[in-house]
Structure 1
Amino acid sequence: MTPEIISQWLLKFKINVGMAELLSLLGAGLYLFILALLANFVAKRFIKYIIHPLIRKTSMQWDDLLIDHNVIVRFSHIGPAAIIHFFAPALFDNFPSIAGFFQLIVNTYLIVIILFVIDGVLNFTRSLWERSSMGKRYPAKSFIQAAKLVINLIGFIFILSALLEKSPLVLFSGLGAVTAILLLIFKDAILGLVAGFQLSINNMVMVGDWIEMPARGADGDVIDVSLTTVKVQNWDKTITTIPTYALITDSFKNWRGMSESGGRRIKRPLYIDMRTIQFADEDLLARFKRIRLLRPYLESKLEEIQKYNDHVGEELSELINGRRLTNVGTFRAYCVAYLRNHPKVHQDMTLLVRQLPPSSQGLPLEIYVFTNDIAWARYEDIQGDIFDHFLSVLPEFGLSAYQAPSGADLEKAGFALKQEG
């Protein structure tokens, strides 16, 4: 239905020539618009009711992502562009300027469609990559965002060239003059892109890692790694947003190694009151022998001590001349035996019970082991149970834990002095 046909039909109703020509052009444009909408409607229904069901029926799972990211649906927009491209010259044969205007719209629209299709393909590629085992270790989100940024920038230049009817090379050559401005505008994106490459290549951070970055107030799980930011959900459920490049320039702690090893470290000292440290006399030895976990240690140690003391002879009357068991050494051996038999202690990782240098707080006896359960709550339960037990058995070895004097202790001492006075 060309404008000439519409104009001749309108002239039958005694409408003047100018108005008839204007209405005919509007009618032809409306007709072309309805055809474009109809083509888009038909294309979308064809994809929705024929193409998508065929994809759903396949045994493969990856092709479902094409539906999830609307990759194929975006191709339906080519229908309206094709209708306008083929019908506009025929409808507006006698109006080359209007036909040229519609051709300009089609060219611009096609560039936008291509950008949308590429965006969907990139989203599809990212989802496909993240489903793989490598995708979890090397997230592609930052690279996809960088690719989108570059592609959209190039697409914007092509749109401008289409609207201005100039070669894209002219606009590309002009980018050199605005490079400094572009670098300023996209500073965070460029820094994030470089940092994203370094983070991925060096396998420094990935989604699901527990990282600790006190300078940025972050202590929790990484939930998103993008081109410009890394989001960390802290243990109090707040979310800290960190610039991606900050993970390169600043230091942070990644607990992934702990998670992958299957063991979580306990490193905590017990402070022993040094006034309670002594040689083990007969009463203490008799008490030690009743402790099941200590029997293997006592048998070998007492035999070793006896062999040494046999060479000392009569000088054993002085304790310092021979070798003797001490209550703190025996307690340390008990701690090792207890941990070796604990079902929640990782036996294939470092297990130490060591003395640290004495201080004003007593003798630190450090427990250095790994639990075989890395879940935070259960780890704390295991650690608490171990130290509950060790603190409770100290009196069995004639030892006591150091505790700084409190107000109640001073009050008790003052009351005792008053009673004596």
Structure 2
Amino acid sequence: MERETLDLYACWLREYLIDLGMGDTWAEILNVAVNTIIIAAVATFLDIVFRKVIVQLFKAFSDKTTSTFDDFLVKSNFPRFIAHFIPLTLVWYITPSLFQDFPVLESGMYKLAQLYLVLLCILVFRSLLRTSNNYLRNSKEKYSDKPLESYVQVLMIFAWSAGVFLVVNILTDFSLKSLTTLGAFSAVLLLIFKDTILGFVASIQVSVNDIVRIGDWITFSKFGADGYVTEINLATVRVQNFDNTFTTIPTYSLIADSFQNWRGMQESEGRRIKRSLYIKQNSIKFLSAEDIASLKKIQLIAPYIEHREKEVTRYNATTEADKSILINGRNQTNLGVFRKYADAFLHENPAINKDLFLMVRHLAPTEKGIPLEIFCFCYDKRWENYEHIQADIFDHLIAAIPYFGLELFESPTGTDVAKISLPKD
């Protein structure tokens, strides 16, 4: 429709009222009021109709395509926002004719339309970002553990910042191109969004350096977090602890503080077992011939004892050691034989990965005895199974200790003290 024809239609009521004898001013006011109501009703009707039509068309199209991107577009309300542009275009086009005799109202309507346009553009942009995020997260496996929400939030901050610039410009006709104005505004933004900027920098470093992924098991003692990362966004990292509670950690803390990420263990060929048995020092002794004969009955270390016995006997014969006292020459000890037994037991255990480091060693003596440390890796890295395997190993070793004439250290209990204090018969 040409502008001249549209102007004539917009003024028909005014001309009719004037012909009826009404004054020009009131005729113009009533003409504008009635036309505004009509246009508002038409725009609302078109908005409802086109919103339903476009949404249904999008759904029908997405059902026929194999790509999931359009499905996520529908879920993020992208068709609804697109439909709002049609009535806005109508209002934008008809405003000059509708308010041709009221320049102030015309300017005001233009500003409202521009503000609505800015808002619609931001909402459409947000919808596209959410769609892209959901599409990459659910359809592209390599992005499933990336902190995409952080980038979405940063882009939305820029979008809202640009929207604020445009709104100020539309409402005040004030130019934001001045360097002084931009500098002052930037300082305010830096002050307001300090944490956001720090989080953005941290998010980039976390992503680029692959520090944390969604699904990683992390332990962050400072914040009491011990569980799996469920969400990484611009401001916080969300961790679901093993007691099903949630802990939120500032994203910047991931690069500012130290924490433990168990991903290396989960991706490796085994999970480490590192635990010590504390042996009472006064239970350690040299083995006599009778002790050696008794320990040879333990099949797992019988070959070792025989081989070691031949070496010791040969050495003592060469050095003519006086074996009337056990300390002379070389001797086997019950702790040394037990250490060899523990090592052989681990090598025979099918749950232990022999390709990874495996060792049974002494640590420095303590007031609780001599620590005998078991250091190995089990194949099964699942927490529950790992604990079962570890418990089975130490159940057996603890039960085996008395066979070697050794004792475990244990702090005295009230019952022990009571036994000591009882009078002897």
Q: TM-score, normalised by structure 1?
A: 0.90
Q: Aligned letter for 1:356?
A: L
* Aligned mate of 1:242, from 249, 255, 259: 249
Aligned to 2:414: 407
Output one character per residue of 1:105-158: Cα deviation in whole Å (capped at 9) or x when no partner: 222221111111111112222223334343244322212211211121011101
Please say which of residues 303-312 and 112-121 is displaced more in the overlay.
Answer: 303-312
Could you tell me how far apart the structure 1 residues matched to 2:306 and 2:20 are? 123
Measured in 1, the distance between the counterparts of 2:107 and 2:298 equals: 99
1:137–1:203 contact (8 Å) kept in structure 2: no
1:127 alignment partner, SS class: helix
Q: Distance in 2 between matches of 1:173 and 1:83?
A: 39
Contact 2:95-2:109 within 8 A present in 1 as well? yes
Matching of residues 54-73 of structure 1 within 5 Å: 54-73=61-80
1:182 aligns with 2:189: yes
Structure 1 letter corresponding to 2:184? A
1:41 counterpart = 2:48? yes
**1:314: Cα distance to partner?**
6.5
Deviation at 1:87, TM superposition (A): 2.3
- Residue 3 of structure 2 aligns with which residue? none
Query: Offset at 1:3?
Result: 4.7
How far residue 247 of structure 1 moved from its aligned partner, in angstroms, is 2.1
Between 288-297 and 346-355, the greater mean CA deviation after superposition: 288-297
The amino acid that maps onto 1:290 is K
Structure 1 residues not aligned, in runs of 5+:
none
Aligned with residue 210 of structure 1, among 194, 208, 217: 217
The aligned counterpart of 1:80 is 87
Secondary structure at the aligned position of 1:419 is classed as coil
Partner residue in 1 for 2:164: 156
Q: Deviations over 1:31-57 (max 9, x none)?
A: 111222222223222222222221222
- For 2:184 and 2:80, the matched residues in 1 are separated by 39
Q: Please list every run of 5 or more consecutive structure 2 residues that lacks an aligned counterpart in the other structure.
A: 1-5
2:142 aligned with 1:134, yes or no? yes
User: In structure 2, the residue corresponding to 1:112 is in which secondary structure?
Assistant: helix
1:191 matches 2:198: yes
| Distance (Å, rounded) in 2 between the aligned partners of 1:109 and 1:380 | 60
* 3-state DSSP of counterpart to 2:365: coil
1:223 offset after TM fit, Å? 2.0
Following superposition, the deviation at residue 383 of structure 1 comes to 1.8
> Structure 2: how far apart are the matches of 1:52 and 1:407?
75
Provide the rounded CA distance (Å) in 2 between the counterparts of 1:151 and 1:335: 64
Given the alignment of the two structures, is residue 255 of structure 1 paired with residue 262 of structure 2, yes or no? yes
**C-alpha distance in 2 between matches for 1:177 and 1:239:** 39
Instruction: Tell me the distance in 1 between the aligned counterparts of 2:358 and 2:22.
Output: 101
Q: Deviations over 1:75-128 (max 9, x none)?
A: 112112111122223334444443333222222221111111111112222223
Is 1:301–2:308 an aligned residue pair?
Answer: yes
Letter in 1 for 2:244: K
Letter in 2 for 1:236: D
2:266 equivalent to 1:269: no
The two structures, once aligned, show a CA RMSD in angstroms of 2.5
- Tell me the SS of whatever aligns to 1:311: helix
How far is the alpha carbon of 1:404 from its aligned partner?
A: 2.1
Does 2:392 match 1:389?
no
Deviates more, 1:66-75 or 1:180-189: 66-75
Partner of 1:419: 424
Check whether the contact 2:32–2:98 (CA below 8 A) recurs between aligned residues. Answer: no
SS at match of 1:293: coil
Q: Deviations over 1:357-397 (max 9, x none)?
A: 11221111011122222222322222222111111111111
* Aligned residue number for residue 329 of structure 2: 322
Secondary structure of 2:229 counterpart: strand
TM-score (structure 2 length as normaliser): 0.89
Correspondences of 1:337-356 after superposition (within 5 Å): 337-356=344-363
Deviation at 1:178, TM superposition (A): 3.6
Q: Match of 2:352, SS?
A: coil
2:109 to 102, 106, 109: 102
Residue identity (%):
36
The 1:259/1:398 distance shift into structure 2, 3 A limit, reads same
In 2 relative to 1, CA 296–113 (structure 1 residues): closer, same or farther, beyond 3 Å? farther
Q: What is the match of residue 297 of structure 2?
A: 290
Superposition deviation, residue 335 in structure 1:
0.9
Match of 2:173 among 165, 172, 176: 165
